[in-house]
Structure 1
Amino acid sequence: MAKGVVGKTVDNLGEYLKEQRTASKLSLRQLSEVAGVSNPYLSQIERGLRKPSADVLQQIAKALRISAEQLYIRAGILSPEDGLGGSVELAVLADPGLTERQKQSLLDVYASFLAINAAESGEGES
């Protein structure tokens, strides 16, 4: 069965979530109750069939008592190379006053600005 757009990053995320859930000695049903995420949806995330939103990842991280940032990196929302620069992304993702679509739009614009600046600084060095 082809996974299409969801891809390898979500597989890695699903495997990681399952490992963390197992290490926490929680069943899928228990984690879904604590995180406030439906059992079938959580199962699809673990199997790599769904890519969860930043809000859902935050709920899961809180329930598992792990870093939401780590989940964002595994989901491909943040880059591990961001280092301290990731604080902008984290601030956007943590803002409860924004919708998921608004958060993603802001992150896309921010990433495009970084890419433009990197390309311009690369041209000046030649």
Structure 2
Amino acid sequence: MDIGFLKSLLCDQPHPDILSRLETDVGGYECILPLLDDEIQRSSARLQRLREYRNALSSPMYTLLPELLSRIFFIYAFDNDSLYDVRWTKLMFVCRRWRDVALHTPELWSFVQLNDPRQGPSYTP
């Protein structure tokens, strides 16, 4: 999780134009209405991002250690014989954390297939 992003969400301030218009009271309150609508929309988007962040933190998958998660990825890839054809990489599209863990798991990226998988295993006496 990006702690800097969370801090920026928590420290978000209203748009400076709203505050300056309220202090100067130029043009009456009618000119403030569009700014308030924009601020409501921005705040709604911010609230949605905070909810998503909170849900990610409360997820049981988030509490797994990266080492354990990378081991699960390796077992999945190896057990399905998909390590050589990288079908296991679909796991990286689940969420940002899974992508980061998979990218930082050298075992997943160090497999070298020497036989042509289309020809099947070869036997040399």
Shorter chain as denominator, the TM-score bin is under 0.3
Structure whose CA Rg is larger: 2
TM-score by length of 1: 0.23
More helix by share: 1
